Structure 1
Amino acid sequence: MLMPDPHHRDLMLKQELSQQVGGRVELTPAERLLDSLLHQLKVKEMAILPFPPAKHFFKVRHVIQKSPVFKLLQKMPKGKKSQGFSGRSHLSFDKIILYPAGAALHIHSSALVSADWLVLNATYRPNCYICFMREGSVRFIFSAYMPFPRWGCSFWSRLDTLRAGLSDVTAFDNSLMKNFTLFTDDPETAFPTQDAAWKRFEEIFVALSGLVTYAPVFKDYIYQGLKELYDDNIMYLELRVGQSRAYELDGTVHDKAWSLEVYRNITEKFRENHPDFIGSRVIYSIHRSLSVSTVKQVVQEAIEMQRQYPDILAGFDLVGREDTGGSIWYFREALSLPSELKKNLTFFFHAGETDLDGTEVDRNVLDALLFNTSRIGHGFALVHHPLAKELARTRGVAVELCPISNQVLNLVSDLRNHPAGVLMSDGHPIVVSSDDPTLFGTTGLSYDFYEVFVGIGGLSANLGTLKELAMNSIRYSSLSSLLKDKAIMLWEEKWNKFIADNSKS
């Protein structure tokens, strides 16, 4: 056999690279300069032992924080002018302009802000009571008087009184923070199985509930969540919002319309202070552990809410663990209601967040497409379904990729083996998001972008990959065409500044 033609080999390599996410993005000379440096940094990064994406995020977060690649993605000098990129590896990374990541399209409302803020701000407010559960968890409630027994709590302590009697308040506050996060130094021991991780995961949401649904906290919590995203250069948010209702100090409980209006009002207030922030919308959600009749009722509410608040409400989703909850097909009667009533309701389904190949749960990715989902949340199992994968690509149904979430919940240990690597190589529409930042010890999207760019994408992922992923987050959002155009223009201005400030020699 004759030796293969090296020119033919080069053509094959170029054709393959052109098919990946970002492979058809034409880079300017300045972009190519920055891309070359990024490649050099990534080569050095891949020589690090342990290589961060190969290890559990909790064990290497401190390593990632020191990474030049991460700092390039994450850090921005507030109020300072960038000194530019020198083209050398010993750069002053504290002067690099932040990579403009675009939009966050998959975050849950109860896990939006840092645990630090929850403890040091929310729990220090007057009339905050705490209950310590037998299994080691906690519950919170704000009340003008001693709360009655509820939620399995027979005794409540007022936090200001409790702290006044402590010798080490800092240690106590640190212990409270542990109730709001899965973060631990030894995750394999703490969460040896998916069941163990999910059990703790769902306990945290219950612990958070009474704290973040208190109306005054709720308003500040949304603003703080937008700020933490904005500080990571996120310009738009789509938030999964559950069925919990906000309450006042006297016990008054607000309806869901009140909460939607708060989301709108707080977003507008935030935009007044940050004019380059595009806005936020919510995706109405219900837990998949509930009955068909309950889900049907909530679907009816969602239809009405989307009619009343089309600017705020983007659509509907089923949330919660797929492996133990009802499948999309199980809820088909409820999910068919909009079509039967000839009403509009956009779906954004969690689907394929499982490794149970061949089960009803695994088939959620197919059923999500049958119900014309606009995006697929997680889509971890999508690569096992070539028909669904091709349908999603043809229809422009993006996968909401949340790599740290998938790793923490034990779907994959080494992120180099994440199935999204196949999707990225194939140019499948993908958006990167962070799912539950509070619980994972992250803020914004930079950590997840790092894992995608360095781990899942490998050396093939380049500046064009980052550019397309950021633009995808706007393209596949629920924004109107007019607002998408505005967002793209604003993002391009940020991108061009990012390139100009970071590619100077």
Structure 2
Amino acid sequence: MAMAPSLPQAVTLLSFWTVVVGMPDPTKRDQLMRQEASRQTGGEVVLNPAEQKLDAKLCQMKEREMWADPFPPALHFFKAKPLIQRSSVFKLLRDMPKGGALHLHSSSMVSVEWLVKNVTYRPNCYVCFTWDNSVRFVFSQRQPFPRWDCFYWQLLHTLRAKNRDPTGFDASLMQHLTLVTEDPDGEYPNQDAVWEKFEKAFIATAGLVSHAPVLRDYIYQGLQELHQDNIMYLELRSGLSRAYELDGTIHDKMWTLRTFQEVTKEFVKDHPDFLGARLILAVHRAWSSSEVKAAVKEAIELQKEFPDVVAGFDLVGREDSGRPLWYFRDALSLPEQLGVTLPYFFHAGETDEEGTEVDQNILDALLFNTRRIGHGYALAHHPLAKELSRERNVAVELCPISNQVLKLVSDLRNHPAAVLMSEGHPMVISSDDPSMFGTTGLAYDFFQAFMGIGGLKANLGTLKELALNSIRYSSLPDHLKDTGQALWQKKWDAFILAHL
């Protein structure tokens, strides 16, 4: 819900609601339309002459594509993707400087093609096929002992050499690491089915990316894929899985944080137009309260040790089957009790089960002073939470493709965020788990939000505000936000001139 209008605004609005006899005044109608449009995301952005020229060009492109049949945002993304790739609007969005990616999970930040074509071709990589049609990977100097659901490990190099169709074999491995399928409705008839495959894919990926030499390359490759999509900053949710060496040595979380810090610094040195990356430490909401309390205490210590790297804390996992935030109230109150600050960036409202205990996560996230709301799909059904989050400048991290693939909404024109965008609610666009959905970067999610959720009224001002929001609502300190906005503005000005 938008904030209550000021007295002058209220007087202006009341002037429209006089009794009309005959034809309404067209001038007043135009004024009313302009006033409503000014409230949408980007509605108050003032475009300079060059931006106005590109906006006119973009609007023409958009109008042509809005009437396409089929209309990509109305289709499941796996079917819409090839149509999107042919879109002129999408090609423009790929070139657009998008600011930062603020909602991304560490196990799914790199394309599965890179994982399979690069990582699984490395020496000493073993694979196991489980009874429930999943896979596990591990790097080892010798054939691993039975573990997890794996009784028989095979060296991938040997297995691939025996296969007559190595390309098909690699494609089958990729299918285990992603949700992508030609028949999404048939393969995932409900949310339970898609989440089951989703969680299996995360487990399958873990053995690859937690191998210490791979982890370094994986972080760098993830930043590279973001940079290629004209993204200049990252906030990554990570559980800090303990990295392992070939001889079985297990590193602690401090090692992982140092590695992330070192690789990020190396990437920034190689790409001076990249602002940097930070981590939001995350644990699964299936954990017990005591386990989460220990994790919060650990996050406080890790943030003290790495203040420039650790941005805050979150709880992840499927909300509908996990414990609600209120269950963890003792654990989440710990920082205040200790007199320290640990910023929260809670997933909340990633549900369509209105009125349930899980649905209350939106309000509980605000009670615990969350800095942003991850997904916030249910926020439109909570007028008080919507008002509070707007007053506090708590932005929603909108991940449209994730919401559609995980079966919260089928036609993105019906996404609840359409209401939030029409009201200019604080919002950023992100991609959640891009490798799981067959994407990289943010361009696809920007397309879905711009074309499907924003509708015909969303324009260049909308895009500009959304990109700037990703710096404005980041966890960066103010002086780095200023640096980031200046760097982004330089990129934006070059983008405008290049597309006139």
Shorter-chain TM-score: what band? Answer: over 0.9
Q: 1:303-382 alignment to 2 at 5 Å?
A: 303-382=300-379
What is the aligned partner in structure 2 of residue 59 from structure 1?
79
Structure 1 residue 253 corresponds to structure 2 residue 250 = yes
* 1:283 has 2:303 as partner: no
SS in 2 for 1:435: coil
Q: 1:300 aligns with which of 297, 312, 319?
A: 297
Matches within 5 A, 1:176-255: 176-255=173-252
1:185-219 CA distance string (max 9 Å, x none): 11000111011111110010011111110000111
Match of 1:443 among 425, 440, 455: 440
1:71 is aligned to 2:91: yes
Measure how far apart 1:246 and its partner are.
Answer: 0.6
Amino acid corresponding to residue 227 of structure 2 in structure 1: Y
Residue 269 of structure 1: aligned partner: 266
**For residue 48 of structure 1, what is the aligned residue in structure 2?**
68
Aligned-partner SS, 1:459: coil
Structural RMSD (CA): 0.6
Q: Does structure 1 conserve the Cα–Cα contact (< 8 Å) formed by 2:286 and 2:317?
A: yes
For 1:283, the aligned partner's letter is I
Q: Distance in 1 between matches of 2:43 and 2:482?
A: 23
- For structure 2, the residue ranges without an aligned partner over 5 or more in a row are 1-20
Where does residue 15 of structure 2 map in the other structure?
A: none
Deviation string, structure 1 residues 249-284 (Cα, Å, up to 9, x no partner): 011111011111111100000011100100000000
Structure 2 equivalent of residue 160 of structure 1: 157
Distance 2:460 2:161 in 1: 53
After TM superposition, the structure 1 = structure 2 runs for residues 79-94 of structure 1, keeping only pairs within 5 Å, are: none
State the one-letter code of the partner of 2:65: E
Q: Which runs of 4+ in 1 moved over 3 A?
A: none
Match of 1:100 in 2: 97
Which residue does 2:25 correspond to in 1? 5
CA shift, 1:307, in A, is 0.9
Q: Is the 8 A contact 1:315 1:345 kept in 2?
A: yes
Quote the residue 1:433 is aligned against: 430
Contact 2:127/2:154 (8 A) holds in 1: yes
Aligned match of 1:19 in 26, 35, 39? 39
Q: Does 1:32 align with 2:52?
A: yes
Superposed CA deviations along residues 274-302 of structure 1, whole A, max 9, x for unmatched, are: 00100000000000011111011000000
Q: Which amino acid aligns with 1:198?
A: W
Cα drift, residue 243 of structure 1: 4.2
**CA distance in structure 1 between the partners assigned to 2:160 and 2:421 by the alignment:** 50
Q: In 1, distance between residues paired with 2:399 and 2:147? A: 35
Q: Which residue of 1 aligns with 2:9?
A: none
SS in 2 for 1:329: helix
Which segments of 5 or more consecutive residues in structure 1 lack a partner in the other structure? 75-97
What SS does structure 1 have at the residue aligned with 2:280?
A: strand
- Quote the offset at 1:161 in angstroms: 1.0
Deviations 1:440-479 (A, max 9, x none): 0011000000000011001110000000000000000000
Q: Secondary structure at the match of 2:353?
A: coil
Maintained 8 Å contact 1:378/1:402: yes
TM-score, normalisation: structure 2: 0.95
Letter in 1 for 2:287: L
CA contact (8 A) 1:243 1:286 kept: no
Equivalents in 1 of 2:240, 2:489: separation in Å?
Answer: 37
